């Protein structure tokens, strides 16, 4: 294999040749210096992280008039100036687009200037051109959809806003509020924007509930894949809590039952304490909270029926109180008559007056209560409470001990509860 090389021989023997070479070298160096300086100036002044004023840009734009970036930056700066020069801003924005017609960012700047000048039709055309150049950028779709919405083009705007939200879910809350107001509270309009993923549907459900559309909110929530609802436990639980707070107990219970797979053999859930209590979805299950007066546990060694029961060990603190530390929310039919039944067992219960099983309404006012659990050691006994359901369609079943006086003797010993049930009479 052979190689050949080409050499360029410069004859610099004459003075004129040496001068010509030196001049050419200096010219090339000057050109390189100019390029470096111009790129530095343009890059620095066009950098949006640098705060600039109109006066800082005017001379560089005149000197580097062919820079699309500087023209666009000056247009944006003029637009933001308190003393807006709208004609100059429009001139420089158009110049930027002409110099770099395939850069969507300059068309966004032009659209801002055009809209500020009251020319929404031209702004829409500029945004449509920017969208065609950069269909993957959510901010282009959002700006175009926002403008169309303000122009009264609802159907067209929803297409753009849906694309923006699908690419950036953080836009959804504000977009829902915007579409809701612009569409005069059209449920189908907000559903059109939000029903792209399970996450956006959850946000939509919360939004509809917040705006007093509980039925539609429940429909949206129920339409989300069950596994996705379980995976988004925090958001799903928050939605159920919001339904309960809004007094939609029946709807919340129906959705909760479907989601958790809870049975409907009795109005009260997990009455025998055989199932583990869900930390994520405890809305209609037993809820326990701590107190200095007693300790609560699910006992696997003592049970009336099945394999577990609820054990309450009183700690012997004086003026023992139990309020809502053990409770369950239960849905009922307003005005109907019910009987609550459960079993209790005691061991060395020493108390001025034993705890009671209490049925209370949504405002925590007592509707009915059992007789106090007797002191001493007793084998399993049945306990019943008859009550009429309030108008709120939900009651709270809890175990309470309310002292008769501001001070009474401490309560100690153990009580077990098992096999709660509620039946309509």
Specify the CATH number for the domain of residue 356. Answer: 2.60.120.260
d(CA 164, CA 246): 31
> Are 176 and 112 part of one and the same domain?
yes
> Are 55 and 120 part of one and the same domain?
yes
**pLDDT for res 111:** 95
Residues in the chain: 425
Q: Is 3's pLDDT higher than 90?
A: no
**pLDDT for res 17:** 58
**pLDDT for res 312:** 97
> Are 182 and 309 part of one and the same domain?
no
268, two tokens = 């009260």
Q: What is the edge-to-edge ordering of all strands in the sheet holding 412-424?
A: 294-299, 309-315, 412-424, 337-350, 376-388
pLDDT grade for 16, boundaries at 50, 70 and 90: low
Domain assignment present for residue 104? The answer is yes
Percentage, residues of the chain above pLDDT 70: 83
> Are 179 and 244 part of one and the same domain?
no
Q: Is 396's pLDDT higher than 60?
A: yes
Domain assignment present for residue 60? The answer is yes
**pLDDT for res 305:** 92
Q: What are phi and psi of 165, to 5 degrees?
A: -65, -40
Place of tokens 């040496």: 18
190, two tokens = 């907000």
Strand, helix or coil for residue 321: coil
d(CA 151, CA 122): 12
Domain assignment present for residue 8? The answer is no
Place of tokens 């992280």: 49
Q: What is the edge-to-edge ordering of all strands in the sheet holding 287-288?
A: 287-288, 326-331, 394-400, 356-360, 366-369
Burial of 402 (0-12, 13-18, 19+ CB in 10 A): middle
User: For every residue of 239-257, which 3-state class applies, written as one string?
Assistant: HHHHHHHCCCHHHHHHHHH
d(CA 149, CA 158): 8
Domain assignment present for residue 166? The answer is yes
28 vs 221, more confident: 221
Range of the domain at 377: 287-424
203 vs 32, more confident: 203
Burial of 169 (0-12, 13-18, 19+ CB in 10 A): middle
> Are 125 and 236 part of one and the same domain?
no
Q: Is the pTM of this model over 0.85?
A: no
pLDDT grade for 303, boundaries at 50, 70 and 90: very high
Q: Please identify, among 176, 194, 212, the residue that sits at the C-terminal boundary of a domain.
A: 194
Q: Please identify, among 140, 159, 194, the residue that sits at the C-terminal boundary of a domain.
A: 194
Specify the CATH number for the domain of residue 118. Answer: 1.25.40.10
> Are 129 and 201 part of one and the same domain?
no
Beta bridge partners of 311: 297, 416
Cα Rg of the chain (Å, integer) = 37
Domain assignment present for residue 122? The answer is yes
> Are 294 and 166 part of one and the same domain?
no
Residues 58-82 have pLDDT tens digits of 656 666 666 787 778 778 778 877 6
Residues 324-371 have pLDDT tens digits of 899 999 999 999 999 999 999 999 999 999 999 999 998 889 999 999
Place of tokens 């949504």: 362
**pLDDT for res 36:** 45
Beta bridge partners of 297: 311
> Are 214 and 77 part of one and the same domain?
no
Q: Please identify, among 194, 224, 249, the residue that sits at the C-terminal boundary of a domain.
A: 194
Strand, helix or coil for residue 342: strand
What is the number of structural domains in the chain?
3
Closest listed residue to residue 192, CA positions, set 217, 165, 225: 165
Which H or E element spans position 344?
strand 337-350
Contact 94, 56 (CB under 8 A): no
Q: Is 18's pLDDT higher than 70?
A: no
Q: What is the mean pLDDT of the chain?
A: 87
Cα 109 to Cα 78, 106, 344: the distances in Å are: 11, 5, 75
> Are 378 and 242 part of one and the same domain?
no
> Are 180 and 238 part of one and the same domain?
no
> Are 360 and 291 part of one and the same domain?
yes
Q: Which of 50-59, 69-78, 206-215 has the lowest mean pLDDT?
A: 50-59
Domain assignment present for residue 9? The answer is no
Q: What share of the chain is helix, strand, coil (3-state, %, to 5)?
A: 45, 20, 35
- What one-character-per-residue DSSP string does 324-341 give? SSEEEEEE--TT-EEEEE
Place of tokens 């919340």: 252
Closest listed residue to residue 111, CA positions, set 76, 62, 78, 61: 76
Name 305's Cβ contacts closer than 8 Å, sequence gap at least 6: 272, 418, 419
Domain assignment present for residue 278? The answer is no
Q: Which of 2-6, 109-113, 120-124 has the lowest mean pLDDT?
A: 2-6
> Are 129 and 174 part of one and the same domain?
yes
What does the pLDDT average to over 161-182?
Answer: 94
Domain assignment present for residue 59? The answer is yes
């Amino acid at each position: 294999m052979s190689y050949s090389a080409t050499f360029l021989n410069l004859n610099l023997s004459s003075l004129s040749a040496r001068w010509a070479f030196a001049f050419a070298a200096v010219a090339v160096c000057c050109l390189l210096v100019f390029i470096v300086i111009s790129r530095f100036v343009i890059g620095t002044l066009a950098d949006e992280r640098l705060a600039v004023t109109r006066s800082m840009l005017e001379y560089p734009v005149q000197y580097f008039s062919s820079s699309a970036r500087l023209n666009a930056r000056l247009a944006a700066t003029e637009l933001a100036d308190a003393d807006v020069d709208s004609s100059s801003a429009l001139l420089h924005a158009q110049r930027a687009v002409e110099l770099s017609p395939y850069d969507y960012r300059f068309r966004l700047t032009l659209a801002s200037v055009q809209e500020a000048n009251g020319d929404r039709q031209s702004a829409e055309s500029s945004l449509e051109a920017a969208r065609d150049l950069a269909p993957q950028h959510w901010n282009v779709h959002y700006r175009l959809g926002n403008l169309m919405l303000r122009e009264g083009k609802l159907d067209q705007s929803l297409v753009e806003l849906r694309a923006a939200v699908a690419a950036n879910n953080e836009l959804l809350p504000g977009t829902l509020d915007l579409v809701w107001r612009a569409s005069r509270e059209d449920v189908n309009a907000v559903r059109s924007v939000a029903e792209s993923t399970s996450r956006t549907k959850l946000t939509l459900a919360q939004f509809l509930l917040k705006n007093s559309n509980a039925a539609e909110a429940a429909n949206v929530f129920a339409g989300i894949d069950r596994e996705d609802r379980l995976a988004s436990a925090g958001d799903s639980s928050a939605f159920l809590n919001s339904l309960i707070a809004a007094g939609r107990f029946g709807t919340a219970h129906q959705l909760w039952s479907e989601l958790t797979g809870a049975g409907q053999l009795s109005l009260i859930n997990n009455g025998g304490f055989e199932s583990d209590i869900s930390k994520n979805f405890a809305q209609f299950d037993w809820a326990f909270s701590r107190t200095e007066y007693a300790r609560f546990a699910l006992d696997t060694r003592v049970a009336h029926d099945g394999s577990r029961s609820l054990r309450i060990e009183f700690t012997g603190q004086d003026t023992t109180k139990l309020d809502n530390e053990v409770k369950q929310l239960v849905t009922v039919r307003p005005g109907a008559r019910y009987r609550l039944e459960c079993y209790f067992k005691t061991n060395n219960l020493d108390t001025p007056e034993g705890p009671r099983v209490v049925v209370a309404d949504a405002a925590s006012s007592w509707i009915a209560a059992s007789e106090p659990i007797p002191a001493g050691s007793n084998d399993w006994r049945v306990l019943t409470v008859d009550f009429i359901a309030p108008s709120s369609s939900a009651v709270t079943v809890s175990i309470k001990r309310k002292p008769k006086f501001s001070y009474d003797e401490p309560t100690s010993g153990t009580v077990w509860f098992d096999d709660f049930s509620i039946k309509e009479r």
